[in-house]
């Protein structure tokens, strides 16, 4: 996309920002924030928000804070803070010196609450949670005022002081904003803004026993940090009137809240609750299981930060609740890895091949290009010898139509090596299973080109049996079998759609020796198969590879179409 095209199609948030810049609403400033609650791991949906907030700041010469919205000590942990920091920075964003915590504003937020009480706009309520719910009314009927709604300011002040001092047990009292119990927006029916929680906080320890609720805290955090555009997801639209009310009543700096649609992806689930459930029930190996849509899972799977950022840019930002086809994510990694990943040959399901006319004991080091897309990535040597492995899929004794690979009597090219022709098929006497192929090679085709100009229909990857190193390969597929995991029979839940084939482990594959020293995280393309990366489970003796994504596979499509007929 060129600059001028980008200008022509601004998303609705960019439009707001540019208008603000034009009118000087924020003195030309753009200051956003990414405000995660440290109660779980980040996923690709958060990546959309991160790219949006940091991206907007970058685009308009502004800044973006990383702010932990840690107002509920019961759910929050340092482990999550650390993983979130790692993920945001891995994605390529820098919060510089603006690593912030809502908990650092607890005193100020409390003082603001006192101010609200003094203004007669908040009161301490003795109703319990159940009673508050009853008094709240329903979607179609108005609520009723609490009997404690009209306490004197003095009494409220005394009560809130004692709440903070720890005089009352959990749940016995709350501080409520005094707004309107008949409002059609339930969030405005005297929302609770402080609750008593005698819980230890991951940063403030036991300093506090009252904690602010989201609606009270969030706007104040934005205000204190002098955020200009407070970007959040659609479900907070109903909260905006309250966000505005709080800041207006206090008469403080007042950012603009803007809501956008959260990301949904086909074949996966995105809610923290469900991801946690998958982890806890052992459907996946952990938050960083390569099948998870978490940032840590995708990192382990082999996704690059660039591919995720490109994906987020490509899907756009709007207010329509949409579901993105996971093929777009896969497209984004392929596009990036195609340019960056060195090519390697590996055979996943080995079929032994003996080159009958190749001298026993001879080994040749053949030249192979590391990346045809980038000459700068150089070349390497791969050893060739008399006994090789090729992919089982690359041979058919009885080739169907349009099958171009090896079959009896047919000549194909071994990549960077020689033309070979299949002359014999050896089968297991008992099972009839093909155990070995015999071929002859044409010495004149060394390197892969025939001096007489003859062509072959296909090129196969291969490894030398004596030189290849053994490795484990883990193939991943979609976590769920249906585009929409919620598409279930009545009575069962999304988990009944878990894809039983989402992980296939191939314990003994053969990889060309150039990868011996590779470390976890290294990425490559196994030619003709897909993009892979070295998993942390690798040990000195044995490398473990994760398949990030397969290559586009035209033959698989043809085969599938043929089967349908």
Partner RNA sequence: UGGGCUGUGGUGCAAUCGGUAGCACGUCUGACUCUGGAUCAGAAGGUUCUAGGUUCGAGUCCUAGCAGCCCAGCCA
Per CB under 7 A, the list member of 99, 119, 165, 327 interacting with RNA is: 327
- Map tokens 């508050």 to a residue: 132
The one catalytic residue in 37, 58, 86, 364 is 37
Q: Do the Cβ atoms of 163 and 196 come closer than 8 Å? A: yes
* Interstrand relation of 63-68 and 99-101 (parallel, antiparallel or unpaired): parallel
- Per DSSP, helices labelled H in 237-294 are 240-250, 272-280
Q: How far is the CB of 137 from RNA (least distance, A)?
A: 7
Q: Positive or negative, the Cα torsion across 402, 405, 408, 410?
A: positive
Assigned token pair, 439: 């071929």
The H or E element that residue 51 is part of is helix 44-59
Nearer to RNA, 187 or 440 (CB): 187
Per CB under 7 A, the list member of 318, 379, 435, 516 interacting with RNA is: 318
Q: How far is the CB of 25 from RNA (least distance, A)?
A: 16
Stretch that binds RNA, among 41-49, 330-338, 357-365, 508-516 (CB under 7 A): 330-338
Nearer to RNA, 477 or 537 (CB): 477
Is residue 299 part of the contact set for RNA (CB under 7 A)? no
37 belongs to the catalytic site:
yes
Per CB under 7 A, the list member of 37, 306, 436, 442 interacting with RNA is: 37
Is residue 413 part of the contact set for RNA (CB under 7 A)? yes
Residues 548, 565: Cα–Cα separation, whole Å: 31
Size of the site for RNA (CB under 7 A): 92
Q: What is the 3-state secondary structure (H, E, C) of 300-341?
A: HHCCCHHHHHHHHHHHCCCCCCCEECHHHHHHHHHHHHHHHC
Between CA 62 and CA 67, with CA 64 as vertex, the angle to 5 degrees is: 160
Per CB under 7 A, the list member of 155, 158, 207, 325 interacting with RNA is: 325
Assigned token pair, 123: 């009161």
Site residues (CB under 7 A) for RNA, limited to 371-400: 371-373
Max alpha carbon distance in the chain (Å)?
A: 102
Assigned token pair, 57: 């700041």
Nearer to RNA, 9 or 431 (CB): 9
Per CB under 7 A, the list member of 115, 204, 271, 338 interacting with RNA is: 338
Assigned token pair, 184: 């059609």
Site residues (CB under 7 A) for RNA, limited to 57-76: 69, 71-72, 75
Stretch that binds RNA, among 103-111, 213-221, 289-297, 429-437 (CB under 7 A): 213-221
Is residue 214 part of the contact set for RNA (CB under 7 A)? yes
Per CB under 7 A, the list member of 299, 415, 474, 478 interacting with RNA is: 415
CB neighbour class for 554 (10 Å; exposed up to 12, middle 13-18, buried from 19): exposed
Nearer to RNA, 48 or 289 (CB): 48
Is residue 328 part of the contact set for RNA (CB under 7 A)? yes
Is residue 138 part of the contact set for RNA (CB under 7 A)? yes
The rounded Cα 462 to chain-centroid distance in angstroms is 33
Task: List, in order, residues 6 or more apart from 385 with CB less than 8 Å away.
Answer: 358, 362, 363, 364, 464, 465, 466, 467
Q: How far is the CB of 540 from RNA (least distance, A)?
A: 29
Is residue 172 part of the contact set for RNA (CB under 7 A)? yes
The H or E element that residue 48 is part of is helix 44-59
Is residue 551 part of the contact set for RNA (CB under 7 A)? yes
Per CB under 7 A, the list member of 321, 357, 392, 508 interacting with RNA is: 321
Site residues (CB under 7 A) for RNA, limited to 452-511: 458-459
Is residue 322 part of the contact set for RNA (CB under 7 A)? yes
Q: How far is the CB of 448 from RNA (least distance, A)?
A: 2
Stretch that binds RNA, among 86-94, 165-173, 381-389, 495-503 (CB under 7 A): 165-173
519 belongs to the catalytic site:
no
Nearer to RNA, 217 or 289 (CB): 217
φ, ψ dihedrals at 306, nearest 5°:
-60, -40
Nearer to RNA, 542 or 557 (CB): 557
The one catalytic residue in 48, 189, 240, 272 is 272
How many CB atoms neighbour CB 239 within 10 A? 20
Is residue 33 part of the contact set for RNA (CB under 7 A)? no
What are the contacts of 404-408 at 24+ separation with CB within 8 A? 404/457, 404/458, 404/555, 405/457, 405/458, 405/460, 406/437, 406/458, 406/460
262 belongs to the catalytic site:
yes
Per CB under 7 A, the list member of 361, 554, 563, 564 interacting with RNA is: 554
The one catalytic residue in 29, 85, 144, 262 is 262
Site residues (CB under 7 A) for RNA, limited to 81-120: none
Query: Terminus-to-terminus CA distance in the chain, angstroms?
Result: 42
φ, ψ dihedrals at 19, nearest 5°:
-65, -45
Is residue 139 part of the contact set for RNA (CB under 7 A)? yes
Is residue 405 part of the contact set for RNA (CB under 7 A)? yes
How many residues does the structure list for the chain? 565
Q: How far is the CB of 415 from RNA (least distance, A)?
A: 4
Site residues (CB under 7 A) for RNA, limited to 215-254: 215, 217-218, 234-239
Q: How far is the CB of 365 from RNA (least distance, A)?
A: 14
Q: How far is the CB of 354 from RNA (least distance, A)?
A: 21
Residues 413, 292: Cα–Cα separation, whole Å: 38
Is residue 316 part of the contact set for RNA (CB under 7 A)? yes
Q: How far is the CB of 98 from RNA (least distance, A)?
A: 18
Q: How far is the CB of 322 from RNA (least distance, A)?
A: 3
Q: How far is the CB of 85 from RNA (least distance, A)?
A: 17
Residues 117, 396: Cα–Cα separation, whole Å: 81
Cβ burial 491-529 (10 Å sphere, 16+ → b, else e):
eeebeebbbeebbeeeeebbbbbbbeebeeebbbbbbbb
Positions annotated as catalytic residues are 37, 262, 272
């Amino acid at each position: 996309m060129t600059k001028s095209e980008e200008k022509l199609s601004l998303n609705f948030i960019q439009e707001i920002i540019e208008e603000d810049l034009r009118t000087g609403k924020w003195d030309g400033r753009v200051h956003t924030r990414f405000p995660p609650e440290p109660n779980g791991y980040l996923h690709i949906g958060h990546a959309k928000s991160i790219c949006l907030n940091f991206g907007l700041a970058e685009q308009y010469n502004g800044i973006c804070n990383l702010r932990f919205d840690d107002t509920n000590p019961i759910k929050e942990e340092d482990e999550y803070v650390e993983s979130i920091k790692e993920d945001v920075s891995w994605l390529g964003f820098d919060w510089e010196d603006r690593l912030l915590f809502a908990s650092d504003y607890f005193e100020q937020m409390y003082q603001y609450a006192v101010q609200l009480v003094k203004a007669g706009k908040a009161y301490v309520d003795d109703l319990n949670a159940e009673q508050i719910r009853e008094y709240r009314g329903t979607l179609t009927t108005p609520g009723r005022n609490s009997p404690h709604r009209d306490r004197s300011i003095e009494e409220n002040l005394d009560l809130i002081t004692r709440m903070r001092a720890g005089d009352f047990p959990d749940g016995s009292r709350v501080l409520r904003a005094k707004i309107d119990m008949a409002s059609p927006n339930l969030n405005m029916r005297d929302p609770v803004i402080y609750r008593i929680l005698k819980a230890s906080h991951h940063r403030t320890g036991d300093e506090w026993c009252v904690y602010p609720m989201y609606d009270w805290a969030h706007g104040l955090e934005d205000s204190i940090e002098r955020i200009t555009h407070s970007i959040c997801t659609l479900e907070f639209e109903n909260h905006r009137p309250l966000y505005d009310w709080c800041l207006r009543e206090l008469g403080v700096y007042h950012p603009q809240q803007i809501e956008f649609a959260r990301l949904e992806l086909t074949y996966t689930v995105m809610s923290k609750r469900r991801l946690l459930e998958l982890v806890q029930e052992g459907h996946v190996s952990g938050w960083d299981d390569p099948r998870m849509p978490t940032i840590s899972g995708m990192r382990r799977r082999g996704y690059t930060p660039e591919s995720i950022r490109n994906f987020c840019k490509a899907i756009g930002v709007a207010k329509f609740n949409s579901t993105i086809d996971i093929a777009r994510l896969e497209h984004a990694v392929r596009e990036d890895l195609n340019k960056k990943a060195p090519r390697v040959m590996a055979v996943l399901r080995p079929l032994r091949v003996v080159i009958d006319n190749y001298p026993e004991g001879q080994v040749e080091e053949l030249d192979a290009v590391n990346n045809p897309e980038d000459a700068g990535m150089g070349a390497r040597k791969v050893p060739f010898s008399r006994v090789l492995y090729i992919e089982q899929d690359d041979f058919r004794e009885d080739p169907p139509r349009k099958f171009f690979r090896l079959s009896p009597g047919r000549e194909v090219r071994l990549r960077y090596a020689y033309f070979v022709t299949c002359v014999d098929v050896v089968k297991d006497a008992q099972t009839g299973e093909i155990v070995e192929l015999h071929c002859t090679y044409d010495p004149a085709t060394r390197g892969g080109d025939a001096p007489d100009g003859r062509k072959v229909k296909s090129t196969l990857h291969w490894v030398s049996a004596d030189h290849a190193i053994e490795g484990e390969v883990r193939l991943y597929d979609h976590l769920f079998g249906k585009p929409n995991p919620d598409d279930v029979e009545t009575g069962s839940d999304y988990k009944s759609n878990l894809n039983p084939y989402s992980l296939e482990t191939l314990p003994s594959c053969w990889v060309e020796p150039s990868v011996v020293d590779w470390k976890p995280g290294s990425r490559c393309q196994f030619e003709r198969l897909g993009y892979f990366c070295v998993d942390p489970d690798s040990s000195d003796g044995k490398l473990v590879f994760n398949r990030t994504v397969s290559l586009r596979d035209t033959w698989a499509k043809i085969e599938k179409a043929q089967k349908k007929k």
